[in-house]
Chains A and B, each alone.
Chain A
């Protein structure tokens, strides 16, 4: 076996190793970044401060669309104003609890839900 031959054999595993490392790096980036690429992108809206409180924005949009279908006169700016006033002094959880205990309920596609949640969902649907 010649010296030149030894050099060729030593370079092959090195190249394989480099290729493997590069592949792992690509897979790692894809694993961590792809969901961000494929996740629905919600455009900025005037209500993002309110909508940030929703734990599941996509479900909220679905509920909100159903609500808006039956409430075509929904006034989003007034609703946002009311919600901000409520959230200035109370958390979302507290406001929802207040809705339940005070029987402030409304419907979306027949689903009976707290009024405040439906207003937030309607804003989410408007914001897209």
Chain B
């Protein structure tokens, strides 16, 4: 390992190791192996910096994309059209943060609750459990002060939120990973590379693909990791503990493919690994919003800056409304301006005349959204017979979305329209009725969740409340793969908060 001495109390800057240059057959021993150099893996390494825990971080890619490594992600998709598996992720240092949009918002307290009207819901702990970690997570994603739903602070700067009558929706706020030099979000690899190099108890290996989680013969402990490079090199990492931080798609692939001791795969004794895959549907055009007076604060349509943060508003259902009406979460955003058709003009004219509203200056906008979908065990990833260049089985995704997911979001939009009319502020047209119409505008958030879900009962979850794989004493999963339900908030901030909590748990393990 090379290093350069630094003066004036600066820490020694190390270099990343190239796994292709590690002597073949080597066995690298360490306290903790972190598998994956995305936001979860990097955040975990940063959180455990300067502790007595020796760490190895294993990243499949280098510091920039290359086609051969990216091709390791290729797979097949069936069912509802989804993004190709090698396009929805990026396999180099920084992982999916390299194509992240930077949207941040904490999950709501209700997202953690068991709801009898929302099948498979219930985290093993309330939001309060990760609440202490949000501000540090916010710092890592560089999204400014943790303000979010303090509309007075945003409104003071740029105008009040759109008035809504009493009801189930409210204006909520995203914050954004900070813009630096025209690069919008924090790309974790680029942003934290030097910080990783300064961590004395960390060795980062690039081009190091973990191809197997090898258990002890009694299957209750991880023994070692098989490492392979595309150049043909192979060696072993033997950790006391390991954390799989490879995202919601690659995590089940690695668990399922590690089937030498347990034929169904690691942690898959109850056939849950790879099931419950989820993403956020983000149909681009879901509704038309009419604002009678034409005035709407600029933060609804575009990212604004105030209070040292970049932010944007959306309409969200309250916890009370979600409970009383049994609807999933959603976040409706105001998008481009549009013109009304003849029915729309008639509807506005009639309502304006009836309610004595001056709609002569009205403006109309498209509404986009991010939706939560219900957990579905049949929306799943499975191994195929096809192998990648390293001999790892490729994945097949069976993607599904139910009509009920659309129905619930329609009900939420109807409620928004009602509240707008009560306030004499505006009205809504919902653009889609049939499943085919919804699917025609469907896109996805690249938020891969749920495939190693968290539950204290091994029959209902792959990992326990501490993210430890059930039945394996020293193997953990970090990232949104463990989310049992998904909310509508973008996962990055939330998964990092969860990783920081895991870091505290691991510190205790090494005491």
Q: Which residues of chain B are near A119, meaning CB under 8 Å?
A: none
Q: Given A55-B353, A63-B350, is A111 in contact with B343 using a C-beta cutoff of 8 Å?
A: yes
Q: Provide the bound-state CA to CA distance between A56 and B348, in Å.
A: 11
Q: Is B349 an interface residue (CB 8 A)?
A: yes
Q: Are A96 and B350 in contact (CB under 8 A)?
A: no
User: Which residues on A sit within 8 Å (CB–CB) of B427?
Assistant: 111-113
Flag whether B508 is at the interface (Cβ < 8 A).
no
Q: Does A117 contact B (CB under 8 A)?
A: yes
8 Å CB contact of B413 from A66, A101, A112, A121 = A112
Q: How far is the CA of A58 from the CA of B347 in the complex (A)?
A: 11
Q: From residue 30 to 58 of chain A, which have CB atoms closer than 8 A to chain B?
A: 54-56, 58
Q: Which residues of A contact B428 (CB under 8 A)?
A: 111-112
Q: What 0/1 pattern do residues 99 to 128 of A give for CB contact below 8 A with B?
A: 011010101111111100100010000000
B429 touches A111 (CB 8 A): yes
Q: Which residues of B contact A108 (CB under 8 A)?
A: 343, 347
User: Which residues from chain B contact A103 at a C-beta distance below 8 Å?
Assistant: 415, 418
Chain B residues in 8 Å Cβ range of A114: 421
B67 in the interface (beta carbon within 8 A)? no
Decide yes or no: A66 and B418 within 8 Å by CB, A92-B354, A110-B431, A111-B427 being known contacts: no
Does B347 lie within 8 Å of A59, measured CB to CB?
yes
Q: How many residues of A contact B (CB 8 A)?
A: 26
CA distance A100 to B415 in the complex (A): 10
Complex CA–CA separation, A99 to B345 (angstroms): 22
0/1 string, B401-423, CB within 8 A of A gives 1: 00000000000011101100110
Note all chain A residues with C-beta closer than 8 A to B355: 96
Interface residues of B in 336-365 (CB under 8 A from A): 342-347, 349-351, 353-355
CB contacts (< 8 Å) of B342 on chain A: these are: 62
Q: Does B384 contact A (CB under 8 A)?
A: no
Distance of A55 Cα from B350 Cα, bound (Å): 7
Would you give the shortest CB distance from A111 to chain B, in whole angstroms?
Answer: 4
Asked if A105 and B354 make an inter-chain contact with CB atoms under 8 angstroms apart, the answer reads: no
A117 and B345 alpha carbons, distance in the complex (Å): 15
CB pair A111 B347 closer than 8 Å: yes
Shortest distance between the CB of B465 and any CB in chain A (Å): 39
Beyond A109-B429, A112-B427, A112-B429, whether A100 also contacts B418 by CB under 8 A is yes
Is B343's CB under 8 angstroms from A63's CB?
yes
- Contact partners of A68 in chain B: CB under 8 A: none
Q: Are A56 and B343 in contact (CB under 8 A)?
A: no
Does chain A have a CB within 8 A of B433?
yes
Contact A101 B422 (CB under 8 A): yes
Which chain B positions have C-beta within 8 A of A111? 343-344, 347, 427-429
Structural contact, A59 and B429, CB atoms closer than 8 A:
no
Whether a CB of chain A sits under 8 angstroms from the CB of B165 is yes
A113 touches B347 (CB 8 A): yes
Total A-B contacts with CB atoms under 8 angstroms apart: 74
Query: Does A22 make an interface contact (CB < 8 A)?
Result: no
A93: B residues at CB distance < 8 A: 354
Residues of A within 8 A of B430 (CB): 107, 110, 112
A1 to B403, CA, bound (A): 99
In the complex, A121 Cα to B351 Cα: how many Å? 12
Chain B neighbourhood of A60, CB < 8 A = 346, 350
Among A77-111, those with CB < 8 Å from B are: 92-93, 96, 100-101, 103, 105, 107-111
Q: Is the CB of B353 within 8 A of A56?
A: yes
* A-side contacts of B432, CB under 8 Å: 110
Q: What residues of B have a CB within 8 angstroms of the CB of A58 in the complex?
A: 346
Bound Cα distance from A92 to B349, whole angstroms? 16
A56 touches B349 (CB 8 A): yes
Q: Within residues 425 to 464 of chain B, which ones have a CB less than 8 A from any CB in chain A?
A: 427-433
List B contacts of A66 (CB < 8 A). 343
Q: Nearest B residue to A55 by beta-carbon distance?
A: B353
**Cα–Cα, bound, A44→B433 (Å):** 35
Distance, CA A93 to CA B357, complexed state (A): 13
Scan B284-299; emit 1 where CB is below 8 A from any A CB, else 0.
0001100000000000
Report how far A62 CA is from B346 CA in the complex, Å: 6
- Give the distance to chain B from A42, nearest Cβ to Cβ, in Å: 15
Quick one: closest A residue to B340, CB to CB? A111
Q: Taking the nearest CB of chain B, how far is it from the CB of A23, in angstroms? A: 36
Interchain CB contact under 8 A, A62 and B429: no
B350 touches A121 (CB 8 A): yes
Which of chain A's residues have a CB closer than 8 A to the CB of B347?
Answer: 59, 63, 108, 111, 113
Contacts of B345 in A (CB 8 A): 59
Known contacts A112-B428, A112-B429; is A105 also within 8 Å of B418 by CB? yes
How distant is B204 from chain A, measured CB to nearest CB, in Å?
Answer: 53
10 residue pairs A–B, Cβ–Cβ below 8 Å:
A59-B349, A59-B353, A62-B346, A63-B350, A101-B422, A105-B417, A111-B347, A111-B428, A112-B413, A112-B427
* Beyond known contacts A110-B430, A112-B428, A121-B350: 19 more, CB 8 A cutoff: A54-B350, A56-B346, A58-B346, A59-B345, A59-B347, A62-B343, A62-B346, A96-B354, A100-B165, A100-B422, A105-B418, A108-B343, A108-B347, A109-B429, A110-B287, A111-B344, A113-B427, A114-B421, A117-B351
Give me the interface of B with A, judged by CB distance under 8 Å: 165, 287-288, 342-347, 349-351, 353-355, 413-415, 417-418, 421-422, 427-433
The 9 closest A-B pairs by CB, nearest first: A55-B353, A112-B417, A59-B346, A62-B346, A110-B429, A59-B349, A59-B350, A111-B347, A110-B430
